[in-house]
């Protein structure tokens, strides 16, 4: 502590002592008739009549700091200036109020932001007090009201941000006309003379100009962007070839058409309907025109088909006579169109005949075969005859044709063999078309689709993910986002992956975190954490079957049946041929990896940024001719254009390379160090290189030296030069480190070691199991512009928050629950945290950091061991404490995978709860709590550690209530108090337990879910999904999660020792063994569930029944529900958990595990002893306070014995303390017997086996005799036996817990072996209690069927047949064997 701080504390003590004197003295002068002591004080200082004003003056001076603080609270900009000022007088004033701040100064927001979050909390507190004024002490009550208010405010904010305006394909169709304008306004840089509209009116209206037919450049830009998005859908196998053709607009703009060419899925079936309308028009031009123009897209389809028909005919007809005929016919049609009498003059009912001939012509043009020439000639002649004879029926037309044929105008004057046959001569028509350009193919294929698609394309695309992405992307263009700059002017940005291994088979394995950093035009980087999961599935991984006979490939085929069909169509193969080609095998591996939570999926998604930049650079730099030819044209000619340094393609790639770099950072870079340079030329790999070198001193001792290295793939000079095992890595940079880089938590250390290799102004953090989409990558340069504008009017953003889409929600009901829970947090939750509460931090990925800001302030993550387990949020704390600003933006999103099985979800929630426990103990939360004003501090508390503390209070409420009732019951007080009205109608208690019930069943989670689903997908959908979640036992899941959060958060607060828990990110959900579930949930759920079960049983036996139905439900039913959930939810949510054969296998495995001895090198999965020792590790690192707290908490188990021994039938008449003493003698006797048996087994079971067995038999007979005597003489009842068990079992468990807390002492005393034996006995009893009901239910087959339906109902609705997954494949295999 510095001298200035010490002086400040001394002066404050002196000032406080002075006020202790001044205030009483001045107050004494205000009394007219003071008592003796006050009169004495007045005599000391005189009896002036004006003296009473001194007290008021003293009071004003005393309260002046508080009044000044109030003024500064209302005017936060003044306080910001004062805290940031370096003037000496200001520094002196601030020194008196607080020590000199280096962290946490000038954090105050604008006055408007202050007003918003202050009003939020004032309204919330008033509402809370209005409904529950007598339970203010319950933190969870305020947490519930926060959930309600956050739902309402978050929904309103979301509506103002225009979320959910386009949520279905029907809505997309209705607004598609304005979509090209939205594309050009949002994704294309504005011209210098254009200005973006601002203000509330612009935000609410958000209308874009429709692109007219004469604005070809705007239409061409829209076409390039839209087509690239649709093409990415096809490459990802979300749509098939037909759907892609229906969704694409022409790549190559046909300037001769002079119309807007909409995607065919909007125009599908319009031409056949228009033909039917024309056939039934009865010569009424205006009526037909009105009916066609009533449907805008039908009008467009008719205009485009006529224009394309005219263009194709004019292109194909080359003979002069034929051209005259064609030009004359089209001129006649145009003339009648202009006069408006086309229908009345021509016989439109014959159009179907012309339509049929033209469709046949389109087929010939698509095939373009020489042998079809004669058929094409016939088709032209037939079309001419239909037009001239059946449709036009005008004499001058026939006369004109006769003149062409060589006659004089009267039929039959010229001999037939001398007449000129139109279209029959060799040069009359151009067929086959040579060369067959891509533009021509596209034109013919599009026209053929418009003519032949008779069914409505309302279901295009049929894939749900493609629909969701199209709808969200289209909706996002109508949200408020910054205008996009040109690629040359945007901020740069990088991708960065941390710590993986290339093993000899070429599959990436990551042992720690992976960071992916990619560089964009405003400099930014992307961080992607990765931990021990697959990067690319091998064929062996895909085909290897599990115990149910199900492979990953088979599973994926059933989960994604439409995408599997699209994949086979794309590779033009079937499943048998896939394994015959290495290229197809690679495609298959990629297809499967893109549907798992793999690094391959993440890398593909992040590399969309480069593709987007290349396309956007083309649109920025292309001239009119290049723009009309299209982006696809320069892609097809890329090889030719690469030769020219100044070619447009080379410039686009150069700009993209300048703005984007992809760095993969690893802790270990294994045997095969080759990266895919062909696919990703921007890829870089950063890793820690361990090298053994001789020391430079005289000893020449070999020592390890560590380097942080950056490499890239060096392409071979020729394809033939690549040999197996050849190292193609080229080292770019290599930095020597002072020692091992991984000292703290693995992931943040990996981020920190390689962040030096990133570049630019921005840094995006991307997790390993995330995905990105082409359409979202197009908006990245808009997002980066957010760094250049102030949010809230105070400071520029330092972290840009993004929303996520959870793509794993369809695997099972658990995955669905987790998906909805996570979606509500990353959308409505973070939306409210950013605005109005101003306490959004960094919660992981995919936020974008101001790289320069954070590099100069400690980096993007803290890496201290244990305390920084949740390193992500500490980056947000750090940014806020150092005058940063964290915002949230919902017009851009990335994909995110989540855990899908109960064990995975529980480990993830345990890790988060551990992290929040460490946050509670951290200096960062302490500083934030001190430096925030009161209302912002409330926001910070209830949205971070307060949520977990409220969860802890929820469970503690149950414990306090039940133990309080246990005391009342066993002491006899409840019987006496039950007749008092205040005790029977205890409203505060009922409301408190009602709050506990709301938290327990997931009410805090359900409300935001409902609002967000309703906002983005409709409230009818939200209601139906809510009902379905209840039917699929969502309250069971949330109640079980409550136990997970409580256990790990409370343990961390008591003992610390939080650790990273690898959850695994597999998407296949299969059966978990009973022993595995027991290891994972024994201490967090099973022990606590059995404890609550004993409390409830005792209460049921001895307690007084509640007369109020509401009280009974809240106090009894909800607690029984919690007990049942904590004990049996792992088996209920375990696939095949009630299948009899699985139960038998689980029992065998459980017996083997519980019996195996531990020791050095024996993992916890193999032995109960090893697991039991590992479960106590947190006590080894706990401090004295933690040990004392553990012992004090264990004393609660002695209450049972003390109370219950006096409720036996043989002891009811006495209350002597000797009864309690005798009960302890019984316990010590039983422990002595157990110790004797344990010692005897160890010493005599081998050499004196018979004697030892006789000894055990005598003990058993003695026990039975004593029991019979107690039943016969004192008339002990069955209830007494149950009560004895309920009394002695908790005592033994309490002794076990105390012994574990005092392990060093117990170990030195030589009792540790006995403690272990006693613990094993308790574990066996608990295992039997859990296993017996599960085994009983497994006898009934319908239970297993119900469980399967409940678990996988969501997948059923998407076409997944779980029965085929769990049983169908085995049947297929057996049938193949029979064949």
Q: Which ranges constitute the DSSP H helices of 29-75?
A: 36-45, 52-74
* CA gap 381, 404 in Å, rounded: 14
- Mean pLDDT, residues 664-683 taken together: 53
Give the pLDDT of residue 408: 39
Place 862 in a pLDDT band, splitting at 50, 70 and 90.
confident
Partners of 176 in beta bridges: none
> How many CA atoms are closer than 13 Å to the CA of 1319, on its beta-carbon side?
23
pLDDT average, residue stretch 854-878: 85
Rounded CA separation 769/774 (Å): 17
Residue 633's pLDDT band, with cuts at 50, 70 and 90, is confident
Please say if the pLDDT value at position 382 is more than 50.
yes
**Is 195 a residue whose pLDDT tops 80?**
no
Task: Report DSSP state, residue 453.
Answer: -
Q: What is the pLDDT of residue 668?
A: 57
Give the CA distances from residue 1354 to residues 727, 1137, 1349, in Å, rounded to whole numbers and listed in that order. 48, 19, 9
| pLDDT of 119 | 95
**Tokens standing for residue 644:** 């020219």
Averaged over 182-205, what is the pLDDT? 69
Evaluate if residue 271 carries a pLDDT over 60.
Answer: yes
Q: What is the mean pLDDT of residues 504-531?
A: 37
pLDDT tens for each residue of 1037-1046 = 999 999 999 9
Q: Tens of pLDDT along 981-1032? A: 655 566 666 666 666 676 667 777 788 899 999 999 989 999 998 888 888 8
Distance between CA atoms of residues 815 and 897, nearest Å: 10
CA-to-CA distance for 167 and 292, rounded, in angstroms? Answer: 28
Per-residue pLDDT at 667: 62
Give the pLDDT confidence score for residue 985 in this predicted structure. 61
pLDDT confidence of residue 1376: 47
Share of the chain above pLDDT 90, in %: 26
Q: Which helix (H) or strand (E) holds 713?
A: strand 702-713
Which of these ranges, 372-376, 491-495, 1170-1174, has the smallest mean pLDDT?
491-495
d(CA 917, CA 1309): 34
| Predicted local distance difference test score (pLDDT) of residue 691 | 82
Residue 701 to residue 706: CA distance in whole angstroms: 16
pLDDT class of 40 with cuts at 50, 70, 90:
low
What the block records as the tokens of 539 is: 């064929």
Separation CA 410–CA 1311 (nearest Å): 126
Any idea what the Cα angle at residue 552 is, between residues 463 and 1374, rounded to 5°?
110
The set of long-range contacts for 977-985, using a CB threshold of 8 Å and a minimum separation of 24, is 978/1104, 984/1107, 984/1108, 985/1108
Q: Give the model's pLDDT for residue 516.
A: 37
303-324: pLDDT as tens digits: 889 888 888 999 899 888 888 8
* CB contact at 8 A, 948 and 913: yes
**The predicted structure's pLDDT at residue 723:** 47
Stretch 492-499: mean pLDDT: 65
Structure tokens at 216: 């070809």
Contact assessment for residue 554 and residue 523, using Cβ atoms and an 8 Å cutoff: no
Q: Convert the pLDDT of each residue in 77-117 to its tens digit.
A: 888 888 877 788 887 777 777 766 678 888 888 999 999 99
The full 3-state SS of 826-879, as one line of letters, equals HHHHHHHHHCCCCCCCCCCCCCEEEHHHHHCCCCCCCCCCCCCCCHHHHHHHHH
Could you tell me the pLDDT band of residue 1128, with boundaries at 50, 70 and 90?
A: very high
Least confident of 648-657, 747-756, 1168-1177: 747-756
Overall average pLDDT of the 1347-1356 stretch: 66
Q: What is the crossing angle of helices 987-1000 and 139-160, to 10°?
A: 50
pLDDT band at 652 (very low <50, low <70, confident <90, very high): confident
CA dihedral over 339, 343, 344, 348, signed as positive or negative: positive
Residues 6+ apart with CB under 8 A from 362: 444, 447, 448, 451, 452
> Is the pLDDT at 1073 greater than 80, yes or no?
yes
- What pLDDT score does 1108 carry? 57
Q: Summarize pLDDT for 560-576 with one digit per residue, the tens.
A: 889 999 999 999 888 88
Of residues 714 and 459, the one with the higher pLDDT is 459
- Band (pLDDT 50/70/90 cuts) for residue 9 is confident
Using 50, 70 and 90 to split pLDDT, how confident is the model at 954? confident
Give the C-alpha separation, 345 to 362, whole Å.
28
Tokens (6 digits) for 1077:
């579930």
**pLDDT at site 55:** 78
Which run of H or E residues covers position 733?
strand 729-737
Mean pLDDT of 223-230: 93
Contact by Cβ (8 Å): 1274, 1209: yes
Q: Which of 886, 890, 782 is nearest to 522 (CA)?
A: 782
| Confidence tier at 1377 by pLDDT (50, 70, 90) | very low
Percent of residues, the chain, with pLDDT higher than 70: 80
Task: Provide the H-helix boundaries in 697-745.
Answer: none
| pLDDT (tens digit per residue) in 131-170 | 766 554 556 678 888 989 999 999 999 999 999 999 888 8
Q: How far apart are CA 304 and CA 1322, in angstroms?
A: 81
Residue 936 pLDDT greater than 90, yes or no: yes
Question: Do residues 770 and 896 lie in contact, with contact meaning Cβ atoms separated by under 8 Å?
Answer: yes
Highest mean pLDDT (candidates 100-114, 1131-1145, 1259-1273): 1131-1145
Read off the tokens for 412: 């039959």
Q: What is the mean pLDDT of residues 1226-1231?
A: 82
Most confident among 257-271, 725-739, 878-892 (mean pLDDT): 878-892
pLDDT at 876: 92
Among residues 879, 880, 885, 888, the alpha carbon closest in space to that of 856 is found at: 879
Looking at every residue in the chain, the average pLDDT score rounds to 80
> 283: burial class by Cβ within 10 Å (0-12, 13-18, 19+)?
middle
In this prediction the pTM is 0.87
Q: What is the CB-side half-sphere exposure of residue 623 using CA atoms within 13 A?
A: 3
């Amino acid at each position: 502590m510095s001298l200035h701080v010490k002086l400040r504390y001394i002066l404050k003590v002196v000032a406080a002592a002075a006020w202790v004197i001044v205030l009483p003295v001045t107050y004494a002068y205000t009394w007219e008739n003071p008592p003796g002591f006050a009169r004495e004080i007045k005599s000391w200082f005189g009896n002036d009549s004006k003296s009473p004003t001194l007290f008021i003056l003293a009071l004003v001076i005393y309260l002046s700091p508080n009044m000044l603080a109030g003024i500064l609270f209302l005017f936060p900009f003044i306080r910001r200036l004062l805290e940031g000022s370096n003037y000496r007088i200001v520094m002196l004033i601030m020194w008196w109020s607080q020590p000199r701040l280096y962290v946490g100064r000038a954090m105050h927001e604008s006055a408007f932001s202050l007003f918003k979050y202050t009003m939020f909390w004032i309204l919330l507190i008033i509402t809370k007090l209005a409904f529950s004024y007598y339970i203010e002490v319950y933190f969870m009550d305020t947490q519930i009201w926060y959930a309600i208010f956050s739902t309402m405010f978050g929904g309103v904010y979301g509506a103002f941000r225009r979320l959910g305006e386009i949520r279905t394909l029907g809505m997309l169709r209705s607004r598609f006309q304005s979509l090209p304008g939205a594309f050009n306004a949002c994704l294309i840089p504005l011209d210098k003379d254009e200005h973006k509209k601002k203000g509330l009116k612009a935000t609410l209206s958000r209308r874009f100009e429709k692109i007219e037919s004469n604005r070809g450049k705007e239409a061409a830009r829209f076409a390039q962007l839209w087509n690239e998005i649709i093409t990415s859908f096809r490459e990802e196998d979300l749509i098939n070839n037909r759907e892609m053709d229906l969704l694409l607009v022409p790549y190559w703009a046909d300037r001769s058409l002079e119309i807007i060419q909409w995607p065919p899925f909007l125009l599908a079936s319009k031409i056949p309907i228009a033909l039917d309308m024309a056939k039934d028009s009865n010569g009424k031009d205006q009526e037909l025109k009105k009916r066609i123009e009533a449907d805008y897209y039908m009008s467009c389809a008719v205009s485009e088909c006529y224009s394309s028909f005219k263009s194709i005919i004019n292109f194909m007809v080359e003979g002069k006579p034929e051209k005259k005929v064609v030009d004359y016919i089209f001129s006649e049609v145009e003339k009648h169109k202009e006069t408006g009498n086309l229908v009345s003059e021509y016989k439109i009912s014959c159009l179907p005949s012309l339509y049929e001939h033209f469709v046949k012509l389109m087929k010939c043009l698509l095939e373009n075969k020489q042998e079809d020439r004669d058929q094409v000639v016939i088709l032209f002649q037939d079309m001419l005859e239909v037009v001239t004879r059946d449709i036009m029926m005008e004499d001058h037309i026939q006369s004109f044709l006769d003149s062409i044929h060589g006659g004089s105008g009267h039929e039959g004057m010229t001999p037939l063999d001398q007449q000129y046959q139109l279209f029959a001569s060799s040069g009359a028509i151009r067929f086959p078309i040579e060369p067959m350009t891509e533009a021509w193919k596209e034109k013919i294929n599009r026209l053929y689709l418009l003519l032949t698609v008779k069914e409505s394309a309302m279901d295009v695309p049929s894939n749900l993910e493609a629909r969701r992405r199209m709808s969200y992307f289209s909706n996002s263009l109508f949200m408020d986002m910054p205008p996009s700059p040109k690629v040359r002017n945007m901020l740069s940005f990088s991708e960065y992956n941390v710590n993986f291994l290339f093993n000899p088979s070429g599959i990436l394995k990551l042992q720690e975190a992976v960071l992916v950093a990619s560089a964009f035009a405003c400099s930014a980087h992307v961080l992607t954490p990765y931990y021990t999961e697959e990067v690319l599935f091998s064929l062996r991984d895909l085909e290897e079957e599990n115990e149910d006979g199900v492979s990953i490939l088979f599973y994926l085929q059933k989960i994604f049946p439409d995408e599997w069909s699209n994949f086979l169509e794309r590779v033009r193969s079937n499943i048998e041929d896939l394994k015959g080609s290495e290229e197809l095998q690679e495609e298959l591996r990629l297809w499967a990896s893109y549907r798992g939570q793999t690094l391959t999926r993440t890398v593909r998604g992040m590399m969309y940024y480069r593709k987007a930049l290349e396309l956007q650079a083309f649109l920025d730099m292309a001239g009119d001719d290049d723009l009309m030819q299209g982006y696809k044209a320069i892609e097809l000619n890329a090889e030719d254009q690469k030769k020219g340094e100044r070619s447009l393609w080379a410039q686009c790639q150069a700009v993209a390379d300048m703005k984007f770099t992809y760095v993969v950072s690893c802790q270990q870079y294994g045997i095969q160090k080759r990266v895919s340079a062909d696919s990703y030329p921007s890829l870089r790999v950063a890793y820690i290189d361990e090298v053994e070198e001789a020391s430079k001193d005289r000893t020449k001792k070999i020592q390890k030296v560590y380097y942080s290295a950056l490499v890239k793939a060096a392409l071979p000079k020729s394809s033939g030069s690549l040999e197996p095992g050849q190292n193609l890595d080229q080292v770019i940079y290599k930095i020597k480190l002072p020692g091992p880089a991984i000292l703290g938590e693995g992931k943040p250390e990996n981020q920190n070691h390689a962040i030096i290799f990133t570049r630019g102004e921005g840094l995006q953090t991307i997790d390993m199991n995330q995905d990105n989409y082409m359409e979202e990558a197009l908006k990245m340069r808009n997002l980066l512009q957010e760094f250049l504008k102030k949010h809230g009017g105070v400071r520029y953003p330092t972290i840009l928050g993004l929303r996520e889409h959870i793509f794993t929600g369809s695997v099972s009901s658990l995955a669905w629950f987790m998906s909805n829970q996570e979606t509500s947090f990353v959308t409505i939750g973070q939306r409210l945290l950013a605005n109005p509460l101003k306490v959004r931090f960094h919660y992981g990925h995919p936020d974008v950091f101001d790289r320069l800001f954070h590099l100069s302030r400690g980096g993007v993550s803290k890496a201290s061991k244990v305390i920084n387990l949740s390193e992500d949020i500490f980056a947000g704390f750090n940014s806020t404490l150092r005058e940063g600003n964290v915002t949230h933006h919902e017009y851009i999103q990335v994909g995110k995978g989540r855990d899908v099985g109960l064990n995975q979800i529980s480990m993830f929630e345990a890790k988060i709860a551990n992290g929040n426990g460490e946050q509670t103990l951290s200096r960062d939360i302490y500083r934030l709590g001190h430096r925030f004003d009161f209302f912002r501090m409330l926001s910070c508390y209830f949205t971070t550690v307060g949520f977990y503390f409220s969860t802890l209070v929820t469970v503690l409420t149950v414990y306090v209530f039940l133990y309080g009732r246990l005391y009342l019951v066993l002491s006899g007080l409840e019987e006496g108090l039950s007749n008092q009205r205040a005790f029977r109608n205890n409203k505060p208690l009922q409301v408190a337990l009602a709050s506990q019930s709301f938290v327990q069943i997931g009410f805090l989670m359900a409300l935001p879910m409902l609002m967000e689903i309703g906002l983005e997908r409709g409230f009818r959908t939200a209601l139906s999904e809510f009902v379905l979640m209840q039917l699929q036992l969502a309250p069971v899941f949330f109640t079980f999660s409550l136990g997970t959060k409580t256990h790990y958060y409370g343990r961390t607060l008591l003992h610390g020792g939080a650790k990273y828990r690898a959850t695994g990110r597999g998407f296949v959900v299969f059966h978990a063994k009973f022993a595995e579930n027991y290891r994972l949930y024994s201490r967090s759920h099973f022990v606590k569930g059995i404890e609550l079960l004993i409390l409830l049983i005792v209460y049921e036996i001895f307690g007084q029944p509640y007369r109020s139905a509401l009280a009974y439900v809240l106090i009894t039913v909800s607690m029984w529900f919690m007990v049942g959930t904590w004990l049996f939810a792992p088996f209920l949510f375990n696939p095949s958990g009630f299948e009899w054969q699985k139960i038998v296998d689980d029992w065998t495995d459980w017996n083997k595990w519980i019996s195996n001895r531990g020791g050095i090198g024996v993992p916890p999965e193999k032995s109960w002893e090893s697991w039991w020792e590992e479960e106590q590790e947190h006590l080894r690192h706990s401090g004295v306070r933690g040990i004392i707290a553990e012992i004090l908490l264990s004393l609660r188990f002695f209450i049972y014995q003390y109370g219950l021994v006096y409720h036996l039938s043989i002891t009811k008449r006495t209350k002597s303390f000797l009864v309690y003493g005798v009960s302890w003698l019984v316990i010590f006797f039983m422990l002595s017997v157990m110790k004797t048996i344990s010692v005897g087994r160890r010493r005599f079971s081998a050499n004196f086996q018979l004697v030892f067995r006789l000894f055990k038999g005598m003990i058993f007979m003695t026990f039975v005799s004593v029991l019979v005597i107690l039943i016969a003489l004192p008339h002990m009842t069955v209830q007494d036996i149950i009560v004895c068990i309920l009394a002695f079992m908790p005592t033994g468990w309490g002794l076990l817990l105390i012994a574990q807390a005092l392990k060093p002492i117990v170990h030195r005393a030589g009792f540790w072996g006995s403690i272990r034996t006693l613990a094993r006995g308790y574990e066996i009893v608990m295992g039997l209690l859990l296993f017996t009901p599960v085994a009983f239910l497994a006898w009934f087959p319908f239970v297993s069927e119900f469980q399967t339906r409940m678990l996988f109902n969501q997948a059923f609705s998407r076409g997944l047949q779980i029965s085929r997954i769990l049983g169908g494949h085995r049947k297929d295999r057996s049938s193949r064997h029979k064949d």
